[in-house]
A = this chain, B = another copy of it.
Amino acid sequence: MSVTTLHRPTHRDALGLLEAAFGDGRMVTAFGRCSVDYDGRASSELGPGDRLVVCKPDGTILVHTDENRKPVNWQPPGCVHRASVRDGQLRIRSERSSPTERLDVAFERVEQVTAYEVSDRSDLRLTGSEEDLRQRILDDPALVEPGFEPTATERETAAGPVDIFGADAEGRPVVVELKRRRVGPSAASQLRRYVEAVDEEFPDEGVRGLLVAPSVTDRAAALLDELDLAFVPVDPTANVASEGTPR
C-alpha cells in the first residue's frame, strides 16, 4: 500500500500509524491543532494553531504554518523521531546529539495522519550556479579581460580558496572572485582577504583582484574602489549550453 491515511483518528490510532511509519522508513504528514517546543542551538515556543508536520525517514522533521517557505520549526536530517500519547495529547519528539537538540510537537487534535512510501532515484540537475559561471570563464577567459590566463581553480591561500587564480596580459597575478548574483560589501571583503593573502605570497608583484558578478551595490562599488579592486560585469543569463567555445 503506497499511502495510508487516517481521518480524524483517535490519538491511539494515530500513534499506531506513526510508530509503524517511523519503523519502516515511510514519510509521514500530520495535520492538526498543535503546540511546538524547541530547545537546542536556540530555544523557541509556539502556541496552539493548525500546522502541517512532515516527518522524513532520514530523520528530518518540518512544522509548516500557512505562510512562508521556511518551516516555523524543524529538525535536520539525522534525528530520531518518537511518538507517544500523554495528557490527552499526541506527541512527536525528535532529538539528536551534537549538538543536543530536541523538538516536541503536541497535538491536541489530529485532523489527518498519512504515511507515504516514497521511491525517488532521480537527481536534480541544476544550471546557473557559480560553478557554471566558473566553467564559462574557463572556456572563455576573455570574458574576464583580454589576455587573462587562468592557472588554477579553488587555489588554496592563507585566507581560503580562490575561485580562479591566474595571470593577466602583463603577467601579474590575478585573483578572481565569482558571484552568480548582485554582490554587496561582504563579497568585496572576501576578495580583499584573498588578494592580501596572495600578496604575501608574491610580494611586489602587484597582485590584482577582480570581482566577477552581474552587478554590485553602491556600497560594494565604493569599497572595491577604495581597495583598488576591480568589478567585472558578466551577463548572468548567458547560455550555458553553448559549449565548444573557441579558445
Contacts and interface: CB of A to CB of B under 8 A. Distances in A.
Interface of A: 2-3, 5, 7-8, 27, 29, 31, 35, 41-52, 54, 56-58, 60, 62, 64-69, 71-74, 76-77, 111-112, 114, 116-129, 158-160, 180-181, 185-186, 189-190, 192-193, 219, 222-223
Contacts of A192: 189
* Copies of this protein in the complex: 2
A5 B4 CA distance: 12
A116 B185 contact: no
Contact of A124 (B46, B62, B180): B46
A73 B124 contact: yes
A193 to B, nearest CB: 6
State the 3 A-B residue pairs at the shortest beta-carbon distance, nearest first.
A42-B128, A49-B120, A47-B122
B69 A60 contact: yes
Best-buried of A45, A77, A190 by chain B (most CB within 10 Å):
A45
